[in-house]
Amino acid sequence: MELKIYNELPNEAKDIRINVFINEQGFENEFDDTDKIAHHILCFVDSKAVGTARIFKDDNDNTYHIGRIAVLKEYRKLHIGSKIIEFAEKEIKRLGGNKIVLSSQVRAKGFYKKCGFTETGDEYLDEFCPHIEMFKLLWYFKHFYISLSVTINSTWVANFLNSFILNIST
């Protein structure tokens, strides 16, 4: 398994997203302007692109978004999704991010919880599909970092810890 990051949306990532989100799940609005500014991750197995995600920086502070995480059906249950998340987290850490947010399909939130993410806010619809926002905080101490999953669903706690991290890292 090999993971690579790109500054432009590769055709292989487009194909995976069309297959998973449009053909399998019925979404219509898959591609947007965020694709132009995001870093795109591709996962290869035996030189075949089988999974993808994108990461991009929030307009505020050191928050990054992970999105459009997709794995081809025949490669699911091989932990490729969690490898993509781990790779994205390392890249976000390298870029100086200390908080990751994502919009999870409600049916997939258990997967993200296993990856250390915590739900925040209320469910909402993206096109026809129920979603929930989730987040994960990264704490940095010199040459290593700690991922922190906060179990209290509170934006205040997240903002407090985010401020704390920014203060001790400078």
CA distances from 91 to 15, 141, 154 (A): 23, 17, 26
- CA–CA distance, 22 with 3 (Å, rounded to integer): 24
pLDDT of residue 142: 42
pLDDT of residue 153: 44
Q: CB-based contacts of 73: which residues, under 8 Å, 6+ apart?
A: 19, 20, 24
- CA–CA distance, 147 with 152 (Å, rounded to integer): 15
| Domain residue extents for the chain | 2-169
CA geometry: angle 133, 35, 5, nearest 5 deg = 95
Q: In the structure encoding, which two tokens stand for residue 137, read together?
A: 């905080």
pLDDT of residue 169: 46
2-169 CATH pick, 1.10.357.10, 3.40.630.30, 3.40.50.300, 3.90.76.10:
3.40.630.30
pLDDT of residue 60: 75
pLDDT of residue 170: 44
Q: CB-based contacts of 116: which residues, under 8 Å, 6+ apart?
A: 136, 147, 148, 149
Which residue numbers in the chain have pLDDT < 70?
Answer: 140-170
